[in-house]
Each structure stands twice: as C-alpha cells, then as structure tokens.
Amino acid sequence: MSTLKTTNLQHASAASPAIVLAADGTATAQLSSVNDGAIAGTRNRIINGGMDVWQRGTSTTATGNTYLADRWQSAILSTGGTISQETSSLPTGSRYAWKYVASASNTVGMQMGQQIEYVNCLDLQNTTVSISFMARSVNTNAASTALTVRTRTIAGVDGACMFGGTNSDTAVTLTTTWTRYTVTRTLPATFGSLSLEFAIGSHVSGDGIMLSQVQLEPGSVATPFERRSFGQELALCQRYYQKSYNIDVAPGALTRIGGNGMVAHATSSYMGFGFVTFQSSMRVNPTVTPYNPDTGLTTNPLRNYSASTNGTMAVANIGVFGFSSNANNLSISTNQSAAYHWTASAEL
Amino acid sequence: MTYQLTTGDTIQRLTDNAFIPPDPANTDYQAYLAWLDDGNTPEPAPTPEPTPVLTTEQKLEAAGLTVAELKELFNLT
C-alpha cells in the first residue's frame, strides 16, 4: 500500500483547499454535502425508525388501518394477525422491533408504512434517496421472505398517500436472520405527499416479518442508521400523537396518574371546565379522545372523584397547543372534582 | 361510521367517541366531510341541560357556608 503525502487538496479553479492536512495526522475539510444530503444530523426522514416509541400500546389484532408503534401505520388486509413490539429477537443496537405474525390465512396481504410530512420531504423531489432497514422473516415460508419495499407519492400536499398513492416497488428476499437491506430510487419530479411502505402478499397462519432501524435519506449511498436520543424521537412523534398517560401506559389503562382535572364553577349552572396544554405543538388541530381513568372507556369518560360516578363531557376549541373541556350538571356539581385522560392525534 | 354534532365547535365520532376539530388539514375531519358528501347526516347536538333552580341551602353550600355560619356573620343568634 502506498501513501500519498501532501499538505493540501485543492481544485485547480478553487481559491482555497478543500482539504487541509495537519502535521498531527488530522485534517480540516470543507464539505458541501455528504451523499448529496445534510452533512450531519437529521439525515433520516423517517420518525421512530428504530421502533423506540410505542405510545398507543405494544400489541394489537386490529384490522384495517391501525397505528401502534408511533408514526407507523399498518393494514392487515384480511382477518387474523397480530402486530406487536418484539423484545427478544432484535438486531444489534435495537431495544425493540416491529413484528407482524398472521394467525390465519390472508389472501390479500399485509402492509405497513409511514407517510412523511411534506415540509420534511419536499426537498427530496426529483432526487435519489436511499432506503435502508433491518429486517427478518419469522419463518422460511416464501410468503414471509418476499418483502416489497414501496414508495408512494401523490400530488396533494399531505394528502391520503399511504397505501393509495402511485407506487414504486422493489422486491427484497428476507431470511430468518436479521439483515440490513438497502434500496435506492429516484423520486418523482414533483409530489405533495410521500410514504415509505413495506408489504407482504398472500400468506398463511404463522407467516410474518420483523422490521427495525428504518431510514430514508437523501443520496445514493445508505449511511449507518441515524440514532437520535429517546427524548428527541419522542418529541418528533408527539407532533403527531400525544396523550395524558405516561409514555409506556397504553390509552384505556386503569390509572389516574396524569389524568387532567375538571372543576365545577361555584355558580347555579353547575358546569365543569378544564383546560389542557399539549407538551408541544401538534401538526394540525388534532382529534381528541377522552378516556375514563377508572373504567378505561371512552363512553362516560369523565370520572367524578367526589361522587364516584361516570359522566359525559365534551371537548372544544381544539388547537395545536391545547383544548378545553366541559361537562354539564349531570356529570359534575359544585365543589366536586373530576378527571379524564385524553389522546390527541394529528396523524397524516 | 356515524357522527354527532356537539354544542361546541367539534364533531363527535360515535364509533370511538373522539372529538374532531373543524380543521381542513385534520384527516379525521376530511373523512367526516367525505361522509357528508356521501349524503349522510350527523346526529344533532345533545340538548343542553336546563340550568337547575337552586334552593337557598344549595346556594349556601355552593358558597361554602352553613346556616349557622351565616347567622354568626350577621349576629343572628
């Protein structure tokens, strides 16, 4: 091996060196880009690509379009299947993985993915992007190993792109060993919505896949998975989903911890009022669902702690920073206190 | 899917009792508008409860007072 010994590397037309080599063996470089993207930080446009945040719970058998791991929407396109947080079989460096296992024959397939908010991907129009991810199949059946990596786009800004836009597919063959896969593609010249999706076709009970460390970044070279702190990742997720429960407590759990209070006015109207301020600004005015702390139900979600009764309530004036709530005299009376939990969703 | 108007500015989705704000960028509100376009009609808002007529004792209780305290206040022993 030979060694090139010099002091500077400079383009013939440049006014200064691009790379200055120091005597101590270090160098100073004037980088304009890494792989046509940001030099460092927030290269990954996927939120919760490491499957670290699970505010909605850790397991579901719901069919149709369902969120479980934050920002990841899935669609079990037929009955019979479980989506869950995998905690035992994991790729190196991961705490959790996203897992799907069918519990019945599924002739239509399963798909999951994430739509990227327009403001976070508009610069990717007409560019080459690299999609990289860790994945494995849960068995060796052909249906489990035949994974489709798909990007979808539509013209409308932040429109219904997921599972419905114009698709571009790449087939990947999985094994039962965690492996890193990379797919590169050039995105359309213009789009208003972009989603990254993974899908398997017709399969039988026991088939399934696991995913983690998903990354979509600018450039034709996939770089190592970008690790953000849990607090950073949670904050990114909370732009789309927040709740009053503790982070690891699923909505509907029987707990009073974190519940928002409501007090009654000491007037003849006997009306209760409450106000909630979100932890951070949400994407749009979110849909708010109240839950009863003691029953876990969304029916009669206001728990009157003073009278030990459950009553109705309403949510109004919802904005990106919070909302107000109220209840009538059937739910709360003067000098009584009541509380409820809530979730707020501003998903795409 | 069915919806109900509320006495405020939100629409309640009755399948999960979620409150949807009238924000055109909210995907649940978009679904509600599509539901309306399909010719559906939401249930009317619940009728507000009438303001109860309070007894004197209830008014005192609301103020955190008792009859004895009131008498003492005005030296009406």
Question: CB contact, 8 Å: A166 with chain B?
Answer: no
Single-letter code of the amino acid located at B44? P
What percent of chain A is modeled with pLDDT above 70? 98
SS3 for A188? coil
Contact B73, B66 (CB under 8 A): no
Single-letter code of the amino acid located at A251? P
* pLDDT given at position B55: 77
Q: Which of A67-81, A95-109, A322-336 has the lowest mean pLDDT?
A: A322-336
CB within 8 A of A343, min separation 6: which ones? A56, A241, A242, A243, A244, A251, A288, A289, A291
Q: With beta carbons under 8 A apart, name residues in chain B contacting A335.
A: 61-62, 64
| A104-108, B6-10, B16-20, range with greatest mean pLDDT | B16-20
Mean pLDDT on A186-215: 97
* pLDDT given at position B73: 83
Contact A150, A198 (CB under 8 A): yes
Beta strands at B11-13 and B3-5: parallel, antiparallel or unpaired: antiparallel
Radius of gyration of chain A (CA): 25
Report the alpha-carbon distance of residue A27 to residue A285 in Å, rounded.
49
Question: If pLDDT is split at 50, 70 and 90, which confidence band does A277 have?
Answer: very high
Q: With beta carbons under 8 A apart, name residues in chain B contacting A315.
A: 8, 10, 19
Output phi, psi for B68, to 5 deg: -65, -40
Q: Considering only CA atoms, which of A184, A200, A194, A206 is closest in space to residue A161?
A: A194
Question: Per-residue DSSP letters for A208-275?
Answer: EEEEEEEEEEESSSPPSPPP--HHHHHHHHHTTEEESS-TTS-TT-S--TTPEEEEE-SSTT--EEEE
- Contact yes or no for B27 and A268 at CB 8 A: no
Closest approach of A102 to chain B, Cα-based (Å): 26
Question: Per-residue DSSP letters for chain B?
Answer: --EEE-SSS-EEETTTTEEE---TT-HHHHHHHHHHHTT--PBPPPPPPPPPPPPHHHHHHHTT--HHHHHHHTT--
Reported as a single tens digit per residue, the pLDDT across A5-59 is 999 999 999 998 999 999 999 998 888 777 777 677 789 999 999 999 999 999 9
Mean pLDDT on A167-188: 97
Reported as a single tens digit per residue, the pLDDT across A46-60 is 999 999 999 999 999
Q: With beta carbons under 8 A apart, name residues in chain A contacting B27.
A: 160, 347-348
- Contact yes or no for B21 and A285 at CB 8 A: yes
Report the alpha-carbon distance of residue A262 to residue A339 in Å, rounded.
6
Predicted confidence (pLDDT) at residue B18 exceeds the cutoff of 80: yes
Predicted confidence (pLDDT) at residue B31 exceeds the cutoff of 90: yes
Angle at A305 between CA A300 and CA A308, to 5 degrees: 70
ipTM of the complex: 0.90
Predicted confidence (pLDDT) at residue A269 exceeds the cutoff of 70: no
- Contact yes or no for A266 and B63 at CB 8 A: yes
* pLDDT given at position A296: 98
Report the alpha-carbon distance of residue B71 to residue A283 in Å, rounded.
57
* pLDDT given at position A174: 98
Closest approach of B26 to chain A, Cα-based (Å): 6
* pLDDT given at position A33: 78
Question: CB contact, 8 Å: A330 with chain B?
Answer: yes
Predicted confidence (pLDDT) at residue B2 exceeds the cutoff of 70: yes
Output phi, psi for A230, to 5 deg: -60, -40
* pLDDT given at position A202: 93
Tokens representing residue A20 in the block? 């200055």
Identify from A285, A317, A332, A342 which residue to disrupt to test chain B contact, counting B C-beta atoms within 10 A and taking the largest count.
A285
Predicted confidence (pLDDT) at residue A102 exceeds the cutoff of 90: yes
Mean pLDDT taken over chain B: 88
Whole-prediction pTM value?
Answer: 0.88
Domains contained in chain A, CATH given: 59-237 (2.60.120.260), 243-345 (no CATH)
* pLDDT given at position A143: 94
Q: Spell out the long-range contacts of A121-127 with Cβ–Cβ below 8 A and sequence spacing 24 or more.
A: A121/A45, A121/A194, A123/A218, A124/A45, A124/A187, A124/A194, A124/A218, A125/A187, A125/A188, A125/A189, A125/A190, A125/A191, A126/A186, A126/A187, A126/A188, A126/A189, A126/A190, A127/A36, A127/A186, A127/A187, A127/A218
Q: Which of A29-38, A78-87, A205-214 has the lowest mean pLDDT?
A: A29-38
Identify from A318, A328, A341, A343 which residue to disrupt to test chain B contact, counting B C-beta atoms within 10 A and taking the largest count.
A318
Q: Which of A200-214, A288-302, B44-58 has the lowest mean pLDDT?
A: B44-58
Helix ranges, chain A (H): 142-145, 230-238
* pLDDT given at position A78: 73
Question: If pLDDT is split at 50, 70 and 90, which confidence band does B51 have?
Answer: low
Question: If pLDDT is split at 50, 70 and 90, which confidence band does B49 have?
Answer: low
* pLDDT given at position A267: 58
Question: CB contact, 8 Å: A316 with chain B?
Answer: yes
Q: Which of A82-91, A143-152, A261-270, B51-60 has the lowest mean pLDDT?
A: A261-270
* pLDDT given at position A337: 86
The residues facing A342 across adjacent strands are: A290
CA trace torsion A193, A195, A199, A202 (10° rounding): -20
Output phi, psi for A8, to 5 deg: -130, 155
* pLDDT given at position B3: 98
Say which residue, B47 or A212, is predicted with more confidence: A212
- Contact yes or no for A315 and B8 at CB 8 A: yes
SS3 for A142? helix
Say which residue, A251 or B71, is predicted with more confidence: A251
Chain B segment 16-75 residues within 8 A of A by beta carbon are 16-21, 23, 25-30, 48-49, 51-54, 58-59, 61-64
Say which residue, B72 or A35, is predicted with more confidence: B72
Mean pLDDT taken over chain A: 93
Of residues B7, B13, B51, nearest to A314 (C-beta) = B7
Mean pLDDT on A279-306: 97
Question: CB contact, 8 Å: A251 with chain B?
Answer: no
Say which residue, A277 or B50, is predicted with more confidence: A277
Report the alpha-carbon distance of residue A97 to residue A174 in Å, rounded.
15
Reported as a single tens digit per residue, the pLDDT across A152-172 is 999 999 999 999 989 999 999
